[in-house]
Amino acid sequence: MYIEKCHVDLNMIKIVTVIGARPQFIKAAPVSRAISREAGLHEVIIHTGQHFDENMSQVFFDQMQLSRASHMLDIHSLPHGAMTGRMMEAIEGILMQEAPDWVMVYGDTNSTLAGALAASKLHIPVAHVEAGLRSFNMHMPEEINRILTDRLSHWLFCPTPVAVDNLTREGYEHFPAKMILTGDVMYDASLMFRDKATRPAGVDLDKPFILCTIHRAENTDDPARLDGLIDAVNTLSEERGVIFPMHPRTRKMLGKSRLNSLSKGIQVTEPLGYLEILYLLQHCELVMTDSGGMQKEAYFFNKACITLRDETEWTELVDAGYNRVCGSDAKNIIHHFHHFTENPPAFAEGLYGKGNASAIIAKAFLDQNT
């Protein structure tokens, strides 16, 4: 079905934004402020429910002052195909009702792909924030989601020159799509909220500590990988404190007995809100993570990062010497921890723009009919 629309007054441009996971709430906060409050455009938010509990969802809306979602789908805890299909079906109905001028999606989750597919089937142009990223690992669901979303998108908002180069190599200059180098909207968010950072309750911060997060299925669902990561964390906790906000998937896969076997130097917490994470980023000595977003956040706060994966999309961090990709091998992780403590990086600004990515995105919408 094709949605027929006539463009009216510029300020009546309607954008439907599809989000559903923690990183997307962070990315959407500065962009929504720029397009709705500053540019005066009409935004409707669909929350798919991919992250649904209080600690993974609502706390981010509250802390980051995101507008309440107009449509809450409550679709989660399903296999990838089922989740994406149900999201696509629900989003399609909402788009037929809302008849927007644009659909905007973020990143690389099932919510991202479902929004892009539903919009494309209805011939609604798609704007993809954080376009052009590649891990070159097709075993990652996120890699499949980002490649397909890019191919469906009319506007490709790229966070880095590397992302632009990736799309150029794939032939996007010959596709009916526009690549726009914006900088990274997560950098915008860190600048917007860093002064509101909040110390987490009940956490001992009296000695140097490592901030650690593990959540990706490639780590949590592989017992050998998870064992290697936990061995590394236990060993490093003999030298430094470790604060470990634990994702529900990680807690489930560890089980009670393995949780009880963690070193006393490891402080396990429930998932934390964005403002609490910002506080820990500001005060930690080093970051260990399998999160894509936290690799960048470590850089925003001049902290070295050990990436607990076999590859990263953020290759500029590795090239600059701020990030070491260590996989799940405990000896490798410990080795690179000691490298960073003995050779702390000299950080330079500028890898992710000037903190005005959201303004560039808003201007693109404003300029489209002028």
Residues with a catalytic annotation lie at 215
Three-state secondary structure of the chain: CCCCCCCCCHHHCEEEEEECCHHHHHHHHHHHHHHHHHCCCEEEEEECCCCCCHHHHHHHHHHCCCCCCCEECCCCCCCHHHHHHHHHHHHHHHHHHHCCCEEEEECCCHHHHHHHHHHHHCCCCEEEECCCCCCCCCCCHHHHHHHHHHHHCCEEEECCHHHHHHHHHCCHHHCCCEEEECCCHHHHHHHHHHHHCCCCCCCCCCCCEEEEECCCHHHHCCHHHHHHHHHHHHHHCCCCEEEEECCHHHHHHHHHHHHHCCCCCEEEECCCCHHHHHHHHHHCCEEEECCHHHHHHHHHCCCCEEECCCCCCCHHHHHCCCEEECCCCHHHHHHHHHHHHHCCCCCCCCCCCCCCHHHHHHHHHHHCCC
Rounded distance between C-alpha atoms, residue 244 and residue 212, angstroms: 5
Q: Distance between CA atoms of 124 and 335, rounded to whole angstroms?
A: 50
